[in-house]
Amino acid sequence: MTQGNGHGNGAAVKLTGKDFKSDQEVRWCPGCGDYAILSAVQGFMPSLGIPRERIVFVSGIGCSSRFPYYMNTYGMHSIHGRAPAIATGLSVTRPDLSVWVITGDGDALSIGGNHLIHALRRNVNLKILLFNNQIYGLTKGQYSPTSELGKVTKSTPMGSLDHPFNPVSVALGVEATFVARSIDSDRAHLTEVLGKAAAHQGTAFVEIYQNCNIFNDGAFDLLKEPDTRADNQIRLEHGKPIRFGKDGERGVRLTDDCRVELVDVADVGEDALLVHDEHRAEPSLAFMLSRLSHGADGPTPIGVFRDVERPVYDELMSEQVEAATARQGRGELAKLLHGGDTWQLG
Amino acid sequence: MTKPVQVLDRVTIRFAGDSGDGMQLTGDRFTSETAAFGNDLSTLPDFPAEIRAPAGSIPGVSGFQLHFADHDILTPGDAPDVLVAMNPAALKANLGDLPKGASLIVNTDSFTARNLDKAGYAANPLEDGTLADHQVHPVPLTSMTLEALKEFDISKKEAERAKNMFALGLMSWLYHRPTEATVAYLEKKFASRPVIAKANVTAFKAGWNYGETTEAFAVSYEIKPAKLTPGTYRNISGNLALAYGLVAASQLSGLPLFLGAYPITPASDILHELSKHKAFGVRTFQAEDEIAGVGAALGAAFGGALGVTTSSGPGIALKAETIGLGVSLELPLLVIDIQRSGPSTGMPTKTEQADLLQVLYGRNGEAPVPVVAPCTPSDCFHAAVEAARIALKYRTPVVLLSDGYLANGSEPWLLPDVASLPDISTSFATEPNHEGDFWPYLRDETTLARPWAVPGTPGLEHRIGGLEKADGTGNISYDPDNHDRMINLRAAKVAGIAADIPPVEVDHQDGSGLLVLGWGSTYGPIGAAVRRVRATGARVSVAHLRHLNPFPANLGEVLAAYDQVLIPEMNLGQLRMLVRSRYLVDAVGYNKVRGLPFKAEELADAIIGLLDEGAGK
Ligand code: SF4
């Protein structure tokens, strides 16, 4: 494969989570889910074995987009919605780097929706972490493109009117090659998903349910609280029948008329359950799984929905440069200028 | 029988026909023949915005004007001396530009009732006296082409299509142009279909022979070669020169070129051209929109590439926020604006100079950006290198302001010796710069530029962003005094570039009290107008700005030396406003915004009018 994702020629380096903490004071609201994600990412980074200088975090605007300031790597806090575009330019010119995009639901799916879908379809070598808190935090509590219908906020006193995006469905809809979902507070799960995302060649899209305790507290409690989480977390595991519930008594089945439905295993038998295949080339089944819940308001799949191989945009671009150079030889300026019809005077 | 030959010093020819008639190709070929012959020349294509407007209609008319001479010339000519009109619509669309006594070569075969109707002619202008003031040469171009090609095994439609080559042959005879290159060109262009190649060559030669034998053309013309600086020349359009300039800037700086762009008229040709030069390490990225184009270029710049985005006015408006980020990040970035008629979508294929204030001020906050404007098509090459030099040295976005007239117009270019081009290399930071730490905003004392530390450099990990940064450390800062200092530092950095650009040169005429000041593509028409005025014995001086921000250091002094300052612009007075406010000079404007370059004659009239005013006449 390639040397992308920051793995250059050098030997792997040994670092600790502390090495990835910058000297800047973290300024999210106390109790914000962003802290847990930051800590998980800092703790996870050493496992990559990539030196800090070859890692870049690029973000847009929003609470989550302050993230790069707290990482002791290279970083850019850019413009609202534009991080995937900026990161694309960086990634395709610097295949030696590991480039991460940090974004939120408003940043990625409202003002930056266009850039997100195009990065995903091109399969640029980016790892995109979308912190979804289903609210606008930095601007103090307006509904977001992932807020549930009818949400009462400062800008929607009578309830929001727009049908929300399901970020995983959006990513699968544009045929992203790696799509996953995790939860801020589940460090072990998040770390595992991050590892798979980092190893993926091409764009990896990870939605992370993140609690905004100020403006949308408890949005994901159903998936987090000890008494409800077993019944509401559907953990997708490659090659295994999809089961959930305290004792795995519930499951997911594909019906004859092509729907996925939640079933009691006792009713249908284990053999009737859908076996999760994250490498399935065709994205429709993964899309159907993403539709099981619209926003953590019932049994909701987490884990890797899709992980497939497709040529990476950065590499294709480099290959064209190499092919042109091999065919024509390295460009010579004088030759270029003297190309076409020239004539001599004097 | 040999026909008499008349010697002329200059001629302006306009080829006009339907979009499908191949007028751009005809013009290009005539230009190449003329260049090879050694005349000085300048061209101006004029094509419709619609890709395929209805055949025979006035919106579908495509034109190509060429001015060539035995001396150096500055413009594609005010008005054609000769119009080649391939159909009634082409005649109608161009007749108004034709001075009395000008020649007209008309394809009579296309003057059918149907075509006359499509052009809106109630009666045939060839017969009703409409053309009485002109020397009309009626030529049945289509039928003679068909006759010449009747032995060929090709369809009638294919044969008809060669009529532009018949016209080119006739014009080549009329002006004694060399023909070998055109024959070679046709053979190469249609190499995959030799019969078509042969048909076109046959039509071309038939046109030439027709000129020689017919009595319809009693005289032919000779325009002696011009005495130009010795050297190797090629004909070049502004956009091609600009693309080459970007490749050159990449080579001269040693940085890989990255272009992020979204297709837009009249800038797309730069994207097309650069996409061909991957062997120079050029990466081109056709982005999902204008914002992504500039964003990707800025991202590439963060990584140490020469980041470039190309667009026109509407796209520049969309890029404004990212240019502002570039100002705040203090990273090199080239923003290329090929201006076109606005506002809004305006007239995409027509030229204008009305984006000056947009690129200077069209951003939130105090966001100064250097601006460079080329003045001729070939100058686009050098202006691109200069813009890159400033961007790299001062770590700043730089706007290069070309326009549709320069982009598509062409002129002979004395090819520069590559070794004589400036070294614009820059260096990346490799070491901590402050007590063992790296401070990304610790500035160079002379240039005020900050260090450029690219990812991959161990020990220099740092974070930058659009939030205000503390002077030196670059950490987020809301400190009021720091903000004021940073605003002033960024402004001083850009203003300081004035010490690093050449002074404005004045073509001063002793005893003149009037200075004509121009910028950008008005260079040619202003220069031609000044020559005309001087030829009348009147005195006038002229200067042209290539740097619009900052202005050359001596500009104030230059302006103060004249009683009158005239600033012609294809806008409502944008440079004039800047000059008036900055130097308190009572400059007056000549402003027309017709989507077309100025004519030398109108500018000469404006200059003479002002001189008369100054003299109290
Ligand atoms: S507003 Fe919400 S998302 Fe933003 S920092 Fe506070 S808790 Fe976190």
A159-209: per-residue pLDDT in tens? 999 999 999 999 999 999 999 999 999 999 999 999 999 999 999 999 999
Q: Do B514 and B568 fall into the same domain?
A: yes
Please determine, for residue B51, whether its predicted confidence score (pLDDT) is greater than 80: no
Q: Do B275 and B239 fall into the same domain?
A: yes
Q: How confident is the model at residue B1 (pLDDT cuts 50, 70, 90)?
A: low
Q: How confident is the model at residue B36 (pLDDT cuts 50, 70, 90)?
A: confident
Q: Do B193 and B254 fall into the same domain?
A: no
Q: What would the two tokens of residue A41 be?
A: 């990412």
Q: Do B24 and B124 fall into the same domain?
A: yes
The count of other CB atoms within 10 Å of the CB of residue B384 is 27
Q: Do B554 and B588 fall into the same domain?
A: yes
Atom of ligand 1 nearest to the CA of A216: 2
Q: Do B83 and B26 fall into the same domain?
A: yes
CA A67 to ligand 1 centroid distance, Å: 12
Q: What would the two tokens of residue B161 be?
A: 């299509």
What is the rounded average pLDDT of the residues B487-503? 98
Cβ neighbours of residue B616 under 8 Å, at least 6 residues apart?
none
A40-81: per-residue pLDDT in tens? 999 999 999 999 999 999 999 999 999 999 999 999 999 999
**What's the confidence (pLDDT) of residue A340?**
82
* Spatial contact of A319 and A326, defined as CB atoms under 8 Å apart: no
Last residue of a domain, one of B398, B420, B442: B420
CA A104 to ligand 1 centroid distance, Å: 11
CA A37 to ligand 1 centroid distance, Å: 13
Q: Out of A293-307, B389-403, B444-458, which region has the weakest mean confidence (pLDDT)? A: A293-307
Atom of ligand 1 nearest to the CA of A133: 3
Q: Domain for residue B426, yes or no?
A: no
Q: How confident is the model at residue A2 (pLDDT cuts 50, 70, 90)?
A: very low
Please determine, for residue A341, whether its predicted confidence score (pLDDT) is greater than 90: no
B303-359: per-residue pLDDT in tens? 999 999 999 999 999 999 999 999 999 999 999 999 999 999 999 999 999 999 999
**What's the confidence (pLDDT) of residue A245?**
97
* Spatial contact of B506 and B558, defined as CB atoms under 8 Å apart: yes
Q: Which of B282, B415, B460 sits opposite A337 (nearest CB)?
A: B415
Q: How far is CA A264 from the centre of its chain?
A: 31
Q: Do B240 and B279 fall into the same domain?
A: yes
Q: Domain for residue B441, yes or no?
A: no
Alpha-carbon separation of residue B445 from B425, B441, B453, B501 (angstroms) = 19, 12, 17, 18
Q: Which of B278, B284, B294 should be substituted to probe chain A, the one whose Cβ sees the most A Cβ atoms within 10 Å?
A: B278
Query: Packing angle between helix A113-122 and helix B290-302, nearest 10 degrees?
Result: 70
Q: Do B196 and B260 fall into the same domain?
A: no
Please determine, for residue A331, whether its predicted confidence score (pLDDT) is greater than 90: yes
Mean pLDDT rounded to a whole number for chain A:
95
Does the CA dihedral B602-B605-B606-B607 come out positive or negative? positive
Q: Do B284 and B217 fall into the same domain?
A: no
> How many separate domains does chain B show?
3
More confidently predicted of B616 and B472 = B472
Q: Order of strands, edge to edge, in the sheet holding A98-104?
A: A233-236, A300-307, A178-183, A204-209, A126-132, A98-104, A55-59, A74-77, B463-465
Please determine, for residue B362, whether its predicted confidence score (pLDDT) is greater than 70: yes
Q: CB contact, 8 Å: B287 with chain A?
A: yes
Distance CA B561, CA A320 (A): 56
Task: List, as one string, the DSSP characters of A222-263.
Answer: HHHSTTTHHHHEEEE-TTSB-EESTTS-EEEEE-TTS-EEEE
Distance CA A241, CA B604 (A): 85
Q: Which of B232, B278, B325 sits opposite A342 (nearest CB)?
A: B232
Q: Out of A184-198, B204-218, B271-285, which region has the weakest mean confidence (pLDDT)? A: B204-218
Q: Domain for residue B46, yes or no?
A: yes
**Cβ pair B292:A114 closer than 8 A:** yes
Q: How confident is the model at residue A1 (pLDDT cuts 50, 70, 90)?
A: very low
Q: Do B174 and B49 fall into the same domain?
A: yes
CA A215 to ligand 1 centroid distance, Å: 7
Q: CB contact, 8 Å: B583 with chain A?
A: no
Q: What is the ipTM of this complex?
A: 0.96
Q: Domain for residue B139, yes or no?
A: yes
Q: Domain for residue B410, yes or no?
A: yes
Task: Report percent pLDDT > 90 for chain A.
Answer: 92
Q: Order of strands, edge to edge, in the sheet holding B103-107?
A: A342-345, B231-237, B410-414, B40-46, B61-69, B10-18, B82-85, B103-107, B135-139
Q: How confident is the model at residue A12 (pLDDT cuts 50, 70, 90)?
A: low
Q: What is the CATH number of the domain that holds B43?
A: 3.40.920.10
CA B196 to ligand 1 centroid distance, Å: 70
Q: CB contact, 8 Å: B397 with chain A?
A: no
Please determine, for residue B70, whether its predicted confidence score (pLDDT) is greater than 60: yes
Q: CB contact, 8 Å: A50 with chain B?
A: no
Q: Domain for residue B38, yes or no?
A: yes
What is the rounded average pLDDT of the residues B480-492? 98
Alpha-carbon gap: B230 to the closest alpha carbon of chain A (Å): 4
Alpha-carbon gap: A253 to the closest alpha carbon of chain B (Å): 39
Which residues in B203-216 are b (16+ Cβ under 10 Å) and which e? bbbbbbebbeeeee
Name the residue range of residue B346's domain.
Answer: 234-420
Q: Which of B288, B458, B476 sits opposite A115 (nearest CB)?
A: B288
**Cβ pair A85:B287 closer than 8 A:** yes
**What's the confidence (pLDDT) of residue A4?**
57
**What's the confidence (pLDDT) of residue B3?**
84
**What's the confidence (pLDDT) of residue B53?**
79
Q: What is the CATH number of the domain that holds B370?
A: 3.40.50.970
**Cβ pair A333:B329 closer than 8 A:** no
Dihedral Cα B268, B270, B276, B281, nearest 10 deg: -130
**Cβ pair A75:B322 closer than 8 A:** no
What is the rounded average pLDDT of the residues B478-491? 98
Atom of ligand 1 nearest to the CA of A137: 1
Distance CA B233, CA B412 (A): 6
Query: Packing angle between helix B379-394 and helix B238-253, nearest 10 degrees?
Result: 40
Last residue of a domain, one of B198, B223, B248: B223
Q: Domain for residue B372, yes or no?
A: yes
B100-126: per-residue pLDDT in tens? 999 999 999 999 999 999 999 999 999
**What's the confidence (pLDDT) of residue A7?**
66
B155-178: per-residue pLDDT in tens? 999 999 999 999 999 999 999 999
Q: What is the CATH number of the domain that holds B542?
A: 3.40.50.920
What is the rounded average pLDDT of the residues A254-263? 95
CA B56 to ligand 1 centroid distance, Å: 64
Q: Do B256 and B151 fall into the same domain?
A: no
Alpha-carbon separation of residue B32 from B43, B349, B355 (angstroms) = 11, 23, 33
* Spatial contact of B77 and B27, defined as CB atoms under 8 Å apart: no
Last residue of a domain, one of B377, B403, B420: B420
Q: Domain for residue B497, yes or no?
A: no
| Chain B residues touching residue A107 (CB < 8 angstroms) | none
Alpha-carbon gap: A160 to the closest alpha carbon of chain B (Å): 29
> What residues does ligand 1 touch, defined as CB less than 6 Å away?
A 28-29, 32, 34, 63, 133, 137, 212-215
| Chain A residues touching residue B462 (CB < 8 angstroms) | 74-75
Q: Do B26 and B150 fall into the same domain?
A: yes
